[in-house]
Homo-oligomer: A and B are copies of this chain.
Amino acid sequence: MDYVNGPGRNHLFVPGPVNIPEQVLRAMNRNNEDYRSPAVPALTKTLLEDVKKIFKTTSGTPFLFPTTGTGAWESALTNTLSPGDRTVSFLIGQFSLLWIDQQKRLNFDVDVVESDWGQGANLEVLASKIAEDKSHTIKAVCIVHNETATGVTNNLATVRKILDHYQHPALFLVDGVSSICALDFRMDEWGVDVALTGSQKALSLPTGLGIVCASPKALEASKTAKSVRVFFDWSDYLKFYKLGTYWPYTPSIQLLYGLRAALDLLFEEGLDNVIARHARLGKATRLAVEAWGLKNCTQKEEWFSDTVTAVVVPPHIESSEIVKRAWKRYNLSLGLGLNKVAGKVFRIGHLGSLNELQLLGCLAGVEMVLKDIGYPVKFGSGVAAASAFLQNSTPLIPSRI
């Protein structure tokens, strides 16, 4: 039974789940194994060691939860905070909204800093709140690195600077779901206390791993944090880490081998090269949008996201029609506008295992859909803008020289 058919490949340009490389599919094509044999811990050990590299941390402790990003959020919060704790959280789009909603339902006292959708987190407000908070009632600053709904990347280095400037001890919790492995992220340098991502994003795996990394300060906080938690509790993992068996409950054997393959691919290309590739594809996408005469939902260049671009459609067009048409006619999967921007934007995800020609095929497809839907696009205009940039900036594939 197949629900996605039609000739040729599906062009998957939603901002997650993203395309899985053949190498990773191959690695996961295997029977189950006994996770209590010596083999699975041996494999797990390499994963925990290597996963730290994608967070750019040496002091952090990673956890591979069998869950999604939503579960990873919950793990980050409940292990470090107690009910009633005050958090500062930025509402700038659907995913930050959902995280804030979770924080409220987990009984934290959420101090919401709201911006227009399309703007980044208002760090001036953060600075003033931190400045005022002499008694350190703020226990955590929670921020989404890259808001997937609007294509906005927040400046994490500035958050750290603010906290440091006021010598504020608040924990620094970062949702890196659509950033880590794709955007520049530096856990240790930026003093992030908990960072997290999901396997189906830039790591290019199936959904199923919520990867959480905790700083020593976060681990320390977890010893006294009173939020109720069992499945998401770090302490159970730490106990099994010490035993060398690693797993308090059954992991997905396939995802472990898949993660091994994904990390191997990542290191083979080089994490910085991967980030540079995302920057290239992100810029190419934005050049195409501009050439089409359409607006980027992201209001300032400083917030432009290299993993997802939310494109604003003219008022008379319903953006979900674009998404539907792309799927029905061209086997192209684009992202819908969500909540406040529903109907107003469609999204092009350009993260994960992608290359220039895949993106150009997508852009050509968007041009045809725009024409279908009645927008007077000039065929080839976006592709030309993107190509001119890419042809200048794309390196040779190093392993082929």
Give me the interface of A with B, judged by CB distance under 8 Å. Answer: 1-12, 14, 16-23, 25-40, 42-43, 66-71, 74, 83, 102, 105-107, 198, 200, 206-208, 227-233, 248-255, 257, 260, 264-265, 268-269, 274, 277, 327-333, 335-336, 353-365, 367-368, 371-372, 378-385, 387-388, 390-391, 394-397, 399-401
Contacts and interface: CB of A to CB of B under 8 A. Distances in A.
B371 A391 contact: yes
Contact of A230 (B12, B70, B367, B394): B70
Nearest to A33: B4
Contacts of A32: 12, 17-20, 200, 206-207
Contact of A250 (B16, B105, B248, B335): B16
A391 B369 CA distance: 8
**Which one of A18, A29, A358 has the highest number of Cβ atoms from chain B below 10 Å of its Cβ?**
A358
B30 A22 contact: yes
A82 B130 CA distance: 36
Given A6-B400, A364-B383, A396-B328, A31 B20 contact: yes
17 contacts: A6-B269, A7-B269, A8-B19, A14-B34, A17-B32, A19-B31, A25-B30, A28-B28, A36-B336, A69-B249, A227-B228, A328-B401, A329-B396, A356-B368, A360-B383, A378-B384, A381-B384
A300 to B, nearest CB: 28
Contacts of A382: 380
A281 B200 CA distance: 33
A375 B8 CA distance: 30
Nearest to A382: B380
A5 B399 contact: yes
A200 to B, nearest CB: 6
Given A328-B400, A368-B390, 6 more contacts: A6-B397, A7-B277, A9-B355, A19-B31, A68-B249, A384-B384
